[in-house]
Chain A
């Protein structure tokens, strides 16, 4: 069926099978390969993207047709041109990644967290990231990264309120 999905600000009109998972739509129909796939059971979260600027969703537990008329933001939509988003800068600064496979999902989940809670405690960050798995970092530097990003975004967040 024909669907229209806005991805990172651009409209993508495609004809897809209803069974196509959103993750594969983003990767193969729109060319945003930063969104990964790591399991079949909605467990790992490497496929997390932001839907309608408010929800973190596991894009391999959602059909592309369900995104018809909606807005999707992937890791490729984080940076402002060549200027890294505070989360990207923080993950780099704090060694918040190793193999890099879980990183896009981690950042997208964190992005939604910081929209809801601009100044999270360490415990709140650990709780919010518990739907995203990482095998490399032991999470410690990921939590640090989100803390740094929150600090960097704080003024902006206050204005937004």
Chain B
């Protein structure tokens, strides 16, 4: 299938991009990796009048650690995360996700920030960003603001990025020695949207109690969802089998998926529980926590 006609505006700087957005308003859409947008355009579900291509903005393609966080620029592709030694060594949750987004070829074009901005209810990055307590840097005419991922993900395919604004960067706080995480996902085959997904990041205190916990589920509602009750249960407790079970049970309680060819509501809600539990166990194993009571 073939997209409808549009005007193409490659931009070489963020200011150029903002100017283009200001000029064309809601007719314009940002083109980054294009791995969700271009198929949507081929099916003619998306018909932007103007595409503002930010790929030429060289300075947006970066991946570095600074100010206690991993900074991923809007031009950085999933594959860069997947191949990064820094990420593999220090950001287990993020590297888990980078290996399972879409398919290995799509990951060579798709971007992390683009994925967050697309905010597909079954997308991977939003789930990980919630558990990893990420922040997004957004710039507009008014200036630059930093938005917590919880505020950023507004609704299906809708984010806090306002008309005329551009998301520049996502920041994953650098996990400490006693912090690790895991991403668990059920997909029917590589490249499919998640049937269910769960992300977990835990920080243990010196005595082995959980001092911080991020728990989120995907494909379980209009957008990636933080399992607040699970986090409350976990924080301040020592990990035990029944603690993990009751935390996982909270995921099933709040999971609100839509039935589709991937499965019915009951199955998907049960999987939210199973995957949270598996992610918790995998995380504790990575933190070298022995047999649970």
Query: A: which residues have CB within 8 A of B?
Result: 1, 17-19, 21, 40-43, 45, 48, 55-58, 60-63, 65-66, 68, 109, 112, 116, 127-132
Contacts and interface: CB of A to CB of B under 8 A. Distances in A.
A24 B191 CA distance: 23
A41 B7 CA distance: 22
A40 B42 CA distance: 7
A43 B191 contact: yes
Nearest to B7: A18
Nearest to B50: A18
A9 to B, nearest CB: 22
Given A40-B1, A66-B53, A130-B103, A18 B190 contact: no
Given A56-B108, A109-B105, A63 B38 contact: yes
B151 to A, nearest CB: 30
Interface residues of B, number: 33
Interface in B16-75: 31, 34-35, 38-39, 41-43, 51, 53, 55
Interface of B: 1-8, 10, 31, 34-35, 38-39, 41-43, 51, 53, 55, 77, 79, 83, 102-109, 190-191
Given A40-B39, A66-B55, A45 B8 contact: no
Nearest to A60: B42
Contacts of B104: 109, 127-131
B10 to A, nearest CB: 7
Given A19-B4, A57-B108, 8 more contacts: A18-B6, A21-B2, A21-B42, A41-B42, A55-B108, A61-B34, A61-B106, A130-B191
Contact of A58 (B1, B2, B10, B106): B106
Contacts of B79: 55
B108 A112 contact: yes
Contacts of A45: 103, 105
Nearest to A55: B108
Contacts of A55: 77, 79, 108-109
A68 B56 CA distance: 10
B1 to A, nearest CB: 5
For chain A, what secondary structure do more than half of its interface residues adopt (helix, strand, loop), or is it mixed?
A: loop
Contacts of A128: 104
A41 B79 CA distance: 20
A144 to B, nearest CB: 19
A127 B107 CA distance: 12
A130 B190 contact: yes
Contacts of A21: 2, 42
A86 to B, nearest CB: 21
A63 B105 contact: no
Contacts of B77: 55
A58 B102 CA distance: 13
A120 to B, nearest CB: 12
Given A40-B39, A42-B39, A130-B190, A19 B5 contact: yes
Given A18-B51, A56-B108, A42 B190 contact: no
A58 B83 contact: no
